[in-house]
C-alpha cells in the first residue's frame, strides 16, 4: 500500500480538502487501484492557521513501492494545477514499509498538539518518504505527513471514499453496505448488526472507520432503523 497525504488545500472559496483529495484520487485511479480515501482529524489550536476543522486526507493506493515516484508526481501535478491561491498545500507519499514509528508518533502528536515543520523534513531526509510544500509557506506538509502516519495504523480517521459507498442513497438494507466494502456494522455499545435498515443525516454518504485493520460502520438505533455515526 502507498499512502498519499494531502493537507491545507483550501481557503474560503475552495472545495475543501476532502473533496480535493478525492479529485486527486480520481486522477491516480486512472493508472493505479485506489482502495479509498480517509479523513484524519488534527489538533485545533489558535496557534494553527486552518479554515474550519483542521483535518488532512489520505489516499490509499494499492501499488508496489516501485511506483511511489509516479504516484507522487501525479498527485503533485494535480495540486500545482488546481490548488487555490491563498492556501499552502502539503503533499507526502510513502510505501507502507517506509512508515516508521517516528512518523506514526508524529501523526499521533499532530492530533493533540502543535507540531513543528522542521521535524517533517528531518523525517523525510531519514526515510523514503516523499514530501513537498506549495503556496507561500507549504505548511500543509505538517498535516500531509501526519496523515500518512495515522493512515498507516489502520486505526484512525474515517473513510470519505471507499468502493461504491458514495453512490448508496439511504435508507438501504445493512447487507447493501456490507456488500460495498464495509466489514462490519456495529452499534456504539458493541452489538453487531446484520439485519435492518441504515440511513444517514440528509442522505449524506456514510463514513465508516478503520478499526484494527477492518472497515467498521458505527450506527445507533433510531426509529426502528440504524443511523450512521461518524467517529473521530
* Secondary structure (DSSP) of 69-112: HHHHHHHHHHHHHHPPBTB-BEEEEEEGGG--HHHHHHHHHHHH
CB-CB contact of 102 with 123 (8 Å): yes
Residues lower than pLDDT 50 in the chain: 45, 47, 50
Q: In what order do the strands lie in the sheet with 90-95?
A: 130-133, 90-95, 2-7, 55-62, 33-41, 158-162
CA angle 105, 216, 27 (to 5 degrees): 75
Q: Is the pTM of this model over 0.85?
A: yes
Cell of 149: 502516519
pLDDT of residue 52: 53
Q: Which of 87, 90, 92, 110 is nearest to 15 (CA)?
A: 87
Residue range 93-121, pLDDT digits in tens:
999 999 999 999 999 999 988 777 677 77
User: Quick one: CATH architecture of 2-159?
Assistant: 2-Layer Sandwich (3.30)
Rounded distance, CA 97 to CA 145, Å? 15
Rounded distance, CA 110 to CA 149, Å? 10
pLDDT of residue 45: 45
Give start-end residues of each CATH 3.30.70.2200 domain in the chain.
2-159
Amino acid at each position: 500500500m502507498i499512502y498519499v497525504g494531502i493537507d491545507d488545500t483550501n481557503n474560503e472559496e475552495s472545495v475543501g480538502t476532502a473533496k480535493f483529495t478525492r479529485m486527486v484520487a480520481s486522477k491516480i485511479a486512472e493508472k493505479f487501484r485506489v482502495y479509498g480515501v480517509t479523513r484524519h482529524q488534527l489538533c485545533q489550536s489558535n496557534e494553527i492557521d486552518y479554515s474550519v476543522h483542521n483535518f488532512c486526507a489520505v489516499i490509499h493506493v494499492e501499488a508496489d513501492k516501485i511506483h511511489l515516484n509516479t504516484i507522487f508526481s501525479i498527485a503533485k501535478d494535480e495540486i500545482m494545477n488546481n490548488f487555490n491561491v491563498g492556501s499552502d498545500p502539503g503533499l507526502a507519499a510513502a510505501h507502507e514499509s517506509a512508515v516508521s514509528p517516528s512518523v506514526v508518533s508524529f501523526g499521533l502528536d499532530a492530533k493533540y498538539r502543535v507540531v513543528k515543520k522542521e521535524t517533517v523534513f528531518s523525517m523525510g531526509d531519514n526515510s523514503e518518504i516523499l514530501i513537498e510544500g506549495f503556496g507561500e509557506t507549504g505548511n500543509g506538509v505538517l498535516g500531509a505527513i501526519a496523515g500518512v502516519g495515522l493512515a498507516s495504523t489502520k486505526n484512525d480517521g474515517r473513510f470519505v471514499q471507499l468502493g461504491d459507498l458514495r453512490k448508496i442513497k439511504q435508507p438501504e438494507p445493512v447487507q447493501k453496505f456490507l456488500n460495498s466494502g464495509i466489514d462490519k456494522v456495529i452499534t456504539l455499545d458493541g452489538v453487531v448488526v446484520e439485519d435492518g435498515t441504515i440511513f444517514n443525516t440528509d442522505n449524506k454518504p456514510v463514513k465508516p472507520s478503520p478499526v484494527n485493520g477492518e472497515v467498521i460502520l458505527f450506527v445507533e438505533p433510531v426509529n426502528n432503523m440504524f443511523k450512521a455515526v461518524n467517529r473521530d
